[in-house]
Chain A
């Protein structure tokens, strides 16, 4: 329980102790720690294994760019693989495990890969595993696959909730370091709406990691004060634990707020994370900079870290990786780390500085013009080998080595809309280039301004410029303003197994081999070696790879180019993007007004788009769905049945040009339809294919009620609005969808008139003369309730559809059932509906599949050539009217009990069975309890001329061959006597 590497000071709460487990062992930590800092404080350096060679790995950084220190956090269904220890905020009871190792972290069997690394060079797999051919699928690939990945998913459903939200602001400030805080103060005091977002749980950025002063305060105190002031401003919203992940079009930023990750468990009903879409007028990127490594032999051992990370751990978290630390640097910043650690009582074994003119120090040794040439220590650093300026070597006994190769501005967001960073020679780094996302500007270290004073000033100016503020800028606290002094130095000459991308195990040697083999474009390098494809997205590796490539190519770095960064800035749980749209909430559920009545009746429901529709209504004793469906069909055809058809699209069409408008929309004519009459309407797409069918009822001279299929309700309405606004802008016609305003029921069967007459108010005459087939009208029912009545039939029976305002749907259904008792009325569901329409030969969804013309469906004569209607011209194209085009037919097996399979193909009765001899396919298949036979509808080449022909229905997929006869699609009542009765 001793935190042997805990230092003094820091921003942790020593009064509270938290316990946590790593790989089953218990440790203690304090609030304010990350898992990474707590592990270091407890002298744990070995945290994971690398991807390919399974090399022992510890922490490299103290931030979200961490490529090595990744763990499986939490347990059970909450297990979260590949979680960066550097970003895990400590909580009591935290459990984490190392990953990508077996059987244990210390003894990992696949570490054998490291011994064979010479055979596993970049791209080796493209050149081998090809012989013998069959071995790839059976042996080689399964082997490679087994080794894949780092952490493992729990394979259980993620139990947490996620949420989404929208925010708006005048200025979004990304990053709350010195530049971001100063920008927020500037904008906040000016009264504009500001959002300040930072990925860290404590705002302040590097100010929390430094010991220098800002004015009269320590850096972290100044940051805390600034945050306090900003919190008091009503127009400023602070969003800690929030990563802005991407810049999208028109000033929209994606941001992920981690509202629950720092808690032992997310409170019930609260989200774990929230995805924000932030709509901005302007945005200011103050994302700071990331320290970059130097590559040298065996630079990947646990304990070898970024110098700035060591400083962060010491100053902010009061932790050190070791009591004996060496520094390897090419710039002054490395010395700052040495000084801070020294001040905390850590022994600095030496500062190795590649520069001959490195600054001198009297507290510890500075080895000028020296380089680290190798390291030792199997599970953690023990010795650092240094080549001195005079050519001799020195060995430094050190448990940690801080490396500083200079700083790279965090330009990521500037690239999200194809902007490319440009090379800055003075900084030896890429800085933001042209083509930034509209409205975005950059300040502070992200813009290459590396001093604290510079960052403060550029933050203030950046905010003022973005918002076009006039007046005096806020006073800036006095702060360090050291010039940048760094000698570009990327890797130690002669090194081979020197890691460039630590997670993916890409070494200097691999980069050189890539060049040798012609993979010389940066993108080729990246793809061939996997450099920069790790979970840090190249934040710690890309630039070194580029530099090596530039050197072997004899070019400058900008000549070699740069890869651009893509969203998200750091990896985001897929669940966060999904939000609440999962499980039953994946899509909204639409219920019809009589849904609960149907539920009471024990209906089985089926998803039809977003609707739930009753599929059938089982009665006690019915054990198979076919029993229920057959009964519903028989009862309807024998007496009367009622079906909820509310889900059909309903569009109200009004205006003096309504009839002419429908004349253009439908392929058949509507101009002359009499008031009080309904007509079947066939709607084509402009390409001549059938789009939808339905009915249009003329309720008045200037008023039609149009119905569409359930599936196409939305697209037909859109299409009609397109025609109205874009094609016929001067027509006097208005459209409104009334799908949800009316509950509608089909009442079908020989007793349907008798049943309806019982609920219709007495003044309405339903006799065949008064209200013949295809009549429509406004009526009242049940004593004054307004209703619409249509005498239309989908089942082929004498039938009506009656519509009442939605809120009366449930009551109407109950009334129909009660009044229908004497007729043995049955409700019927979509299955019986489907059976009856196939028996009647009506085309529906399976026939209206978007590739069928009116001619295919036997409706060719409906396409009027005497008028202009959408789709008419293109439906006449040569291949669409050839004699052998598909035609709709009925299909009847020679043996009634033989199964007809929808999706089966039709072949001639003799001859080969293959694609070349395909004659068509079955679109719909049902069992007809009326015909006591399986039947189907199908589309067959020249089918209309082939009735009576015997064919083979084949479905090799379901192992079926059946002899069938082509018959008229109108199995029941072909003359239509029943529906006119």
Chain B
């Protein structure tokens, strides 16, 4: 069923009787060409591109709970391609371009809103680092602008310019960046994958990987064994657990990132804003809520909840940066489990087990990568070679010394 304004009007006039389920609820088949473990944003995107772009029709996504229930359903919805390093920027810019055409590609309105992002800087050193980054973005074909303090003030007059402990000296802007409606991204990919024949199997937890003679033959699940020629794992915070079933230790730790939303407010924030002197980033949703976050809690955890010190730290940054939000109320806080990698950059690669592929290590930046991650993982699964923009995301890069460390904090995941 094609979605359109006309369709909405027609259904409205005929009692909405014609809307069909957005995806089927199939029982698993005995065998698939490709099984994707994880019905989150990346898994569903992988299925979409596998089926639509790479012509794979015998594909299943297995999900332990309900689709879109992981980090794609609990993030701060920011989309951007403002990276510095060669290994990253082409990939994220590829992702940005996919975002820009996503609604037409999926025939589903994920409400991508290119309202821009500004990364504020407060020292000369930060300005130099952002200059380097902005130049790298432009040299990679993305857009970037450097604003001085006066220009920032013109666009964001409500920021703290007069009583700031760390005065704002300027900001790096990417106008094409913005936000998207996170749940809709998962649903849109799911709907498209389903339309292209992918079986999306919810409430089907993978309990084991069947590996014989170094080859992966399929997955053991709570709905029984499902055979596959290839198995791709895209389970974010659960990476350690699932790949552990194949006996693999990963360069990944699981950490919790908290996020927050305020009560609905009339529009005040024109773009996404990140604070350079504290842990705080914020945007305003189309419903009016301030959606914001900060640092991860910093300890290994699989619990989807955090603690008060980080809540306070984030709000301190928020009020320091924009004192007007002191009287806005925080409505809800939640936590997502992040697959924090050893250099802060992701992995899309084969594994030592034949037929088993891994996609993970997205840290707290996985949402913006969703389309490209799906596209590149589909490419890898379908063609057995990395997509040209994802060649740096090797699993063995730590062994060879080819880290992609944007923040320069080294092999300590909770600092990335």
Direct touch of chains A and B (CB < 8 A):
yes
Q: Which residues in A have some Cβ–Cβ distance to B below 8 Å?
A: 51, 78-82, 118-119, 121, 124-131, 133, 136-137, 141, 144-146, 148-158, 160, 162, 164, 246, 248-249, 252, 254, 275, 277, 416-418, 509, 513, 516-519, 521, 523-524, 527-528, 530, 535, 537, 566-568, 571-579, 581-587, 589, 606-608, 685-689, 845-846, 849-851, 874, 877-880, 901-905, 913-915, 918, 921-925, 954-958
Q: Tell me if B54 counts as interface (CB < 8 A to partner A).
A: no
Contact with A along B137-174 (1 / 0, CB 8 A): 01111001110000000000010100111110000000
Known: A530-B287, A574-B319, A957-B134. 17 other contacts (CB 8 A): A125-B111, A128-B5, A145-B286, A150-B288, A154-B327, A160-B326, A518-B20, A566-B305, A568-B330, A568-B333, A574-B326, A574-B328, A578-B315, A579-B312, A583-B164, A877-B401, A957-B138
Query: Can you identify 5 A-B contacts, CB atoms within 8 angstroms?
Result: A130-B103, A130-B107, A530-B287, A686-B411, A849-B129
Contact with A along B99-120 (1 / 0, CB 8 A): 0010110011111111000000
Contact of A577 with B8 in the complex, beta carbons under 8 Å: no
Contact residues in A for B136 (Cβ distance below 8 Å): 905, 915, 918
Q: Which of B5, B288, B325 contacts A149 (CB 8 A)?
A: B288
Contact of B109 with A126 in the complex, beta carbons under 8 Å: yes
Q: B25 to nearest A CB, angstroms?
A: 7
Q: Which of A119, A151, A958 contacts B8 (CB 8 A)?
A: A119
Q: Tell me if B285 counts as interface (CB < 8 A to partner A).
A: yes
Contact of A903 with B129 in the complex, beta carbons under 8 Å: yes
A878-B401 Cα distance, complex, nearest whole Å: 6
Instruction: Answer whether A158 and B138 are a contact pair too, CB < 8 Å, given A125-B109, A148-B286, A418-B303.
Output: no
Contact residues in A for B30 (Cβ distance below 8 Å): none
Residue tally, chain B, CB below 8 Å to A: 118
Contact residues in A for B73 (Cβ distance below 8 Å): 523, 527
Q: Which of A164, A517, A901 contacts B131 (CB 8 A)?
A: A901
A400-B128 Cα distance, complex, nearest whole Å: 65
Contact of A582 with B109 in the complex, beta carbons under 8 Å: no
Contact of B327 with A566 in the complex, beta carbons under 8 Å: no
Contact residues in B for A568 (Cβ distance below 8 Å): 330-333
A913-B138 Cα distance, complex, nearest whole Å: 10
Output the nearest chain A residue to B122 by Cβ-Cβ distance.
A607
A441-B161 Cα distance, complex, nearest whole Å: 48
Q: B110 to nearest A CB, angstroms?
A: 8
Contact of A573 with B328 in the complex, beta carbons under 8 Å: yes
Stretch at the interface among B43-51, B218-226, B258-266, B368-376: B258-266
A290-B13 Cα distance, complex, nearest whole Å: 38
Instruction: Answer whether A128 and B109 are a contact pair too, CB < 8 Å, given A518-B23, A904-B131, A957-B146.
Output: yes
Contact residues in A for B327 (Cβ distance below 8 Å): 78-81, 153-154, 158, 160, 573-575
Q: Tell me if B323 counts as interface (CB < 8 A to partner A).
A: yes
Contact of B109 with A129 in the complex, beta carbons under 8 Å: yes
Q: Tell me if B86 counts as interface (CB < 8 A to partner A).
A: yes
Q: Tell me if B318 counts as interface (CB < 8 A to partner A).
A: yes
Q: Tell me if B215 counts as interface (CB < 8 A to partner A).
A: no
Contact residues in A for B325 (Cβ distance below 8 Å): 153, 158, 574-575
Contact of B264 with A148 in the complex, beta carbons under 8 Å: yes
Contact of B3 with A578 in the complex, beta carbons under 8 Å: no
Instruction: Answer whether A574 and B128 are a contact pair too, CB < 8 Å, given A148-B288, A586-B316.
Output: no
Q: Tell me if B213 counts as interface (CB < 8 A to partner A).
A: no
Contact of A571 with B318 in the complex, beta carbons under 8 Å: no
Q: A608 to nearest B CB, angstroms?
A: 8
Contact of B312 with A129 in the complex, beta carbons under 8 Å: no
Contact of B4 with A131 in the complex, beta carbons under 8 Å: yes
Contact of B4 with A918 in the complex, beta carbons under 8 Å: no
Contact of A249 with B307 in the complex, beta carbons under 8 Å: yes
Q: Which of A130, A150, A513 contacts B19 (CB 8 A)?
A: A513
Stretch at the interface among B238-246, B377-385, B402-410: B402-410
Stretch at the interface among B183-191, B228-236, B348-356, B358-366: B183-191
Instruction: Answer whether A81 and B263 are a contact pair too, CB < 8 Å, given A149-B287, A578-B326, A607-B165.
Output: yes
Contact residues in A for B20 (Cβ distance below 8 Å): 517-518
Contact of B331 with A535 in the complex, beta carbons under 8 Å: yes
Q: B176 to nearest A CB, angstroms?
A: 10
Contact residues in B for A589 (Cβ distance below 8 Å): 165
Contact of A121 with B21 in the complex, beta carbons under 8 Å: no
Chain B CB count within 10 A is highest, among A125, A157, A417, A535, for A157
Contact of B410 with A689 in the complex, beta carbons under 8 Å: yes
Contact residues in A for B133 (Cβ distance below 8 Å): 903
Contact of B316 with A81 in the complex, beta carbons under 8 Å: no
Contact of A577 with B312 in the complex, beta carbons under 8 Å: yes
Q: A533 to nearest B CB, angstroms?
A: 8
Contact residues in A for B164 (Cβ distance below 8 Å): 583-584, 586
Q: Which of A137, A850, A954 contacts B409 (CB 8 A)?
A: A850
Contact residues in A for B104 (Cβ distance below 8 Å): 130, 133
A69-B29 Cα distance, complex, nearest whole Å: 52
Contact of B128 with A846 in the complex, beta carbons under 8 Å: yes
A748-B135 Cα distance, complex, nearest whole Å: 37
Q: B257 to nearest A CB, angstroms?
A: 14
Contact residues in A for B107 (Cβ distance below 8 Å): 130
Instruction: Answer whether A903 and B132 are a contact pair too, CB < 8 Å, given A571-B331, A583-B165, A687-B410.
Output: yes
Contact residues in A for B23 (Cβ distance below 8 Å): 518
Contact with A along B382-416 (1 / 0, CB 8 A): 00000000000000000111110101111100000
Contact of A127 with B4 in the complex, beta carbons under 8 Å: yes
The 5 closest A-B pairs by CB, nearest first: A850-B408, A903-B131, A149-B288, A158-B326, A575-B326
Instruction: Answer whether A573 and B329 are a contact pair too, CB < 8 Å, given A128-B4, A148-B286, A850-B408.
Output: yes
Contact of B158 with A148 in the complex, beta carbons under 8 Å: no
Output the nearest chain B residue to A80 by Cβ-Cβ distance.
B327
Output the nearest chain A residue to B112 by Cβ-Cβ distance.
A136
Contact of A133 with B163 in the complex, beta carbons under 8 Å: no
Contact residues in A for B66 (Cβ distance below 8 Å): 521, 523-524
Output the nearest chain B residue to A901 by Cβ-Cβ distance.
B131
Contact of A850 with B410 in the complex, beta carbons under 8 Å: yes
Q: Which of A575, A606, A689 contacts B319 (CB 8 A)?
A: A575
Q: Which of A79, A246, A516, A687 contacts B411 (CB 8 A)?
A: A687
Chain A CB count within 10 A is highest, among B144, B312, B334, for B312
Q: A413 to nearest B CB, angstroms?
A: 13
Q: A527 to nearest B CB, angstroms?
A: 4
Contact residues in B for A121 (Cβ distance below 8 Å): 12, 16
Contact residues in B for A874 (Cβ distance below 8 Å): 401
Contact of A586 with B166 in the complex, beta carbons under 8 Å: yes
